C-alpha cells in the first residue's frame, strides 16, 4: 500500500509557499492574486460613470450607440469564429502521429515523463483513474506519475489506498497541505516541485487518455520547431449519449478542440490551453512560474503566457476522453468558473496593454480579447437582446423601435438569423466530419444551451467581483458508464 508522501516542517512550508505565491512574488502583474489593477479600477470606473452620465442626458442616442457597437462586435466575432472554423476544417493543421511512428521510438531514447494527476473529493472515480493510467504505453522506468491529493481529503485518500496496489504503475502519492486558495493549479505547482521528467502533462481524475499519447507527444516535439513549447491533445467526451446536456457539451468540445484550436494554430494566434492533456517542457514551465493558483482557468492563462514569451502551441490529434457534465446545476458551476477564469485572464494580461500588443501583435491581441473577454461578455449581452426581442414580440413598444433604427435593425437581423444558423451549421459539420450522428439533435436544439451559457456568464461576472479565486468543484462520476 503506497501511502501519501506527507511533508512537514520548513520544507513543507517552503514548497507550499512557492506553490501558492511564487508567481505573484516574481511577476505580480501576471498574477490573478488581485483582480483589478489600480489603473483598471480608474479606467473602468471612469467609463461606467461616463456611460451613465451620457445615458441620463441623452438616453435614446446612447441606447442606439450601445446597440450599434454591440452589433458590430457581434458580427466581427462571428466572422472571426467562422474563419477559424474553416481553417481548422482543412484537417492539415493538427499534428498526426501514427501508432507505428509513436511505437518506433526506442525506449532508451524516450525522455522521463512526469504525469500530474490532481484529485480532490473524487472517491467515485479513483478506480477509473488508476485503470486509465495503467493503460499508458510508456516504459515504466521512464514514467513519473504524481497523484496529488489534498491531505485532509480523507475519502479520496482511502479510495486510493484501496485501489492503487491493483495496477502495475509507478505512482507517487503526494499529500498537498490544505491552504487557500484551494485550487487545482496550486496542487499542480506543488507536484511540479517534485517532477523528475523532461516533459510534463496533466490528467484530470476522470480522464481516459489515449494510451499512446505520451509517445505521440514525444514524436510531435521531435517533428516540430524549437519555438513550440506545448502540445495540446484533443479532448472529447465518452458519455455524449447520456442526455441532451451531454450532447450539447460534446458538440461544443468537438468544435473547439477539433476545429477552432487548429484554426488558432494555423493563424499563429495565442491558444488558451485546455485543462488537461497539455504537454510541456518541465524546465520551461518552471521558468514561467508554473500555473497561477489564483486563476480558476489556469490552463487558458498559461497558454497566453507562453505566447507572450514567444512560444507556440501545437494541437496533437490524440484524444483524451472525459466525462461530460450531465447535471445542469453541476454544469452551471463548472461553466461559470470557466467564464470567470477567462475574465481573470483578460484582466491580468491587459494590465500592460501596449506591452501585450507588442508581444502578440494586433491579430493576436484581437483574438486574445475575442476569446477571453468576448466569450463571457457576449453571453451576458445575449440576455439583454433576448429580453428586447421578447418585449418586441409581446407588444412592439415604441422605445425598442427608437433604439433599433433601420441602419441598426437590419445588421441585427443578419446577426440573429445568419449568425445563429451558421453556428448551428458548424456543429452539424463537426458532427458529420467526426462521424457522430448522435449529435444531430443537440446541434439543432443548441439555442437552449446558449441560454444556459448566458446564465453561467452572469453568475461568473458576479463571482468575479465577490469571489474571484473561489474554485467551484465539479462533481464527477455522474455519467452512465459504457460497458
Q: Tell me the mean pLDDT in the region 393-400.
A: 85
Summarised one tens digit per residue, pLDDT across range 102-159 is 999 999 999 999 999 999 988 888 878 888 888 999 999 999 999 999 988 888 888 8
In terms of Cβ atoms closer than 10 Å to its own Cβ (0-12, 13-18, 19+), residue 3 is exposed
Q: Find out whether 321 and 236 touch, Cβ atoms under 8 Å.
A: yes
| Nearby residues of 451 by Cβ (< 8 Å), 6 or more positions away | 386
The secondary structure of 220-240, three-state, reads HHHHCCCCEEEEEEEEEECCC
Question: What is the β-pairing status of strands 228-237 and 278-281?
Answer: antiparallel
| Long-range CB contact pairs, 239-244, < 8 A, 24+ | 239/323, 239/324, 239/326, 239/479, 239/480, 239/481, 239/482, 240/324, 240/436, 240/438, 240/439, 241/438, 242/324, 242/326, 242/479, 242/480, 243/326, 244/441, 244/442, 244/445
What percent of the chain has pLDDT above 90? Answer: 77
Range name among 129-138, 236-245, 282-291, 302-311 with the lowest pLDDT average: 129-138
CA 62, 68, 69 angle in degrees (round to 5)? 90
Q: Report the Cα–Cα distance between both ends of the chain, in Å, rounded.
A: 29
325's CB contacts (< 8 A; 6+ apart) are 245, 246, 249, 331, 334, 474, 478
228-249 tens-digit pLDDT = 999 999 999 999 999 999 999 9
Instruction: Provide the pLDDT confidence category of residue 39 given band limits of 50, 70 and 90.
Output: very high
Determine how β-strand 312-322 pairs with β-strand 199-202. unpaired
Rounded to whole angstroms, the Cα distance separating 146 from 92 reads: 34
What does the pLDDT average to over 352-363? Answer: 95
User: How does pLDDT run across 421-443, given as a tens digit for each residue?
Assistant: 999 999 999 999 999 999 999 99
Q: Show the CA angle centred on residue 351, arms to residues 350 and 354, nearest 5°.
A: 70
d(CA 389, CA 183): 40
Copy the grid coordinates of residue 349. 494580461
For residue 7, what pLDDT band results from cuts at 50, 70 and 90? low
Domains of the chain in start order, with CATH, are 49-91+357-466 (no CATH), 99-326 (3.90.550.10)
Which cell numbers hold the place of 114? 512526469
* 19, 225, 251, 264, 433 from 93: Cα distances, Å: 35, 14, 20, 10, 15
Count Cα neighbours of 328 within 13 Å in the Cβ-side half-sphere: 8
Closest CA to 234 of 257, 263, 201: 257
Q: Count CB atoms within 10 A of the CB of residue 41.
A: 11
- Whether the per-residue pLDDT at 339 is higher than 80: the answer is yes
CB-CB contact of 147 with 119 (8 Å): yes
Q: What integer best gives the mean pLDDT of the chain?
A: 92
Q: Which of 276, 273, 354, 347 minimizes the C-alpha distance to 307?
A: 273
Q: Nearest-5° angle of CA 254, CA 74, CA 275?
A: 35
- What are 187-228's pLDDT values in tens digits? 999 999 999 999 999 999 889 999 999 999 999 999 999 999
Distance between CA atoms of residues 345 and 372, nearest Å: 7
For 143, half-sphere exposure in the C-beta direction (CA atoms, 13 angstrom radius) is 22
Report the pLDDT value the prediction gives residue 4, as an integer from 0 to 100. 59
Report which of 120, 139, 121, 247 is spatially closest to residue 185, judged by C-alpha positions: 120
pLDDT band at 309 (very low <50, low <70, confident <90, very high): very high
Q: In which residue are the cell numbers 480532490 written?
A: 120
Amino acid at each position: 500500500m503506497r501511502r501519501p508522501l506527507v511533508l512537514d516542517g520548513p520544507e513543507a512550508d517552503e514548497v507550499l509557499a512557492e506553490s501558492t505565491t511564487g508567481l505573484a512574488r516574481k511577476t505580480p502583474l501576471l498574477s490573478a492574486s488581485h483582480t483589478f489593477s489600480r489603473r483598471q479600477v480608474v479606467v473602468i470606473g471612469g467609463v461606467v460613470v461616463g456611460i451613465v452620465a451620457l445615458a441620463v442626458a441623452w438616453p435614446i442616442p446612447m441606447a442606439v450607440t450601445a446597440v450599434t457597437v454591440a452589433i458590430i462586435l457581434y458580427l466581427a466575432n462571428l466572422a472571426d469564429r467562422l474563419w477559424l472554423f474553416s481553417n481548422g476544417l482543412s484537417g492539415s493543421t493538427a499534428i498526426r502521429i501514427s501508432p507505428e511512428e509513436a511505437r518506433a521510438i526506442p525506449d532508451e531514447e524516450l525522455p522521463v515523463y512526469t504525469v500530474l494527476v490532481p484529485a480532490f473529493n473524487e472517491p467515485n472515480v479513483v478506480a477509473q483513474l488508476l485503470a486509465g493510467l495503467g493503460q499508458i504505453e510508456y516504459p515504466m522506468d521512464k514514467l513519473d506519475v504524481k497523484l496529488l491529493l489534498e491531505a485532509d481529503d480523507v475519502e479520496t485518500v482511502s479510495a486510493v489506498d484501496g485501489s492503487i496496489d491493483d495496477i502495475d504503475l509507478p505512482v507517487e502519492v503526494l499529500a498537498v497541505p490544505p491552504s487557500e486558495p484551494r485550487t487545482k493549479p496550486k496542487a499542480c505547482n506543488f507536484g511540479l516541485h517534485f517532477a523528475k521528467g523532461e516533459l510534463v502533462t496533466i490528467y484530470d481524475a476522470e480522464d481516459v487518455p489515449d494510451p499512446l499519447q505520451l509517445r505521440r507527444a514525444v514524436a510531435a516535439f521531435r517533428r516540430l520547431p524549437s519555438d513550440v513549447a506545448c502540445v495540446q491533445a484533443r479532448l472529447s467526451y465518452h458519455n455524449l449519449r447520456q442526455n441532451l446536456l451531454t450532447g450539447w457539451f460534446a458538440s461544443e468540445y468537438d468544435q473547439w478542440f477539433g476545429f477552432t484550436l487548429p484554426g488558432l494554430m494555423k493563424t499563429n494566434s495565442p491558444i488558451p490551453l485546455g485543462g488537461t492533456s497539455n504537454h510541456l517542457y518541465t524546465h520551461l514551465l518552471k521558468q514561467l512560474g508554473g500555473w497561477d493558483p489564483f486563476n480558476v482557468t489556469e490552463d487558458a492563462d498559461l497558454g497566453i503566457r507562453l505566447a507572450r514569451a514567444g512560444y507556440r502551441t501545437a494541437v496533437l490529434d490524440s484524444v483524451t476522453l472525459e466525462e461530460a457534465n450531465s447535471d445542469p446545476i453541476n454544469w452551471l458551476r463548472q461553466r461559470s468558473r470557466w467564464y470567470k477564469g477567462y475574465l481573470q485572464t483578460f484582466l491580468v494580461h491587459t494590465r500592460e496593454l501596449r506591452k501585450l500588443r507588442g508581444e502578440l501583435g494586433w491579430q493576436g491581441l484581437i483574438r486574445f480579447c475575442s476569446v477571453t473577454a468576448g466569450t463571457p461578455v457576449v453571453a451576458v449581452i445575449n440576455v439583454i437582446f433576448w429580453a428586447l426581442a421578447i418585449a418586441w414580440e409581446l407588444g412592439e413598444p415604441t422605445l425598442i423601435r427608437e433604439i433599433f433604427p433601420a441602419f441598426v435593425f437590419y445588421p441585427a437581423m443578419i446577426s440573429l438569423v445568419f449568425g445563429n444558423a451558421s453556428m448551428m451549421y458548424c456543429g452539424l459539420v463537426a458532427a458529420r466530419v467526426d462521424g457522430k450522428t448522435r449529435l444531430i439533435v443537440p446541434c439543432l436544439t443548441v439555442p437552449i444551451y446558449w441560454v444556459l451559457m448566458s446564465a453561467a456568464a452572469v453568475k461568473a461576472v458576479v463571482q468575479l467581483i465577490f469571489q474571484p479565486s473561489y474554485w467551484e468543484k465539479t462533481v464527477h462520476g455522474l455519467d452512465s458508464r459504457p460497458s
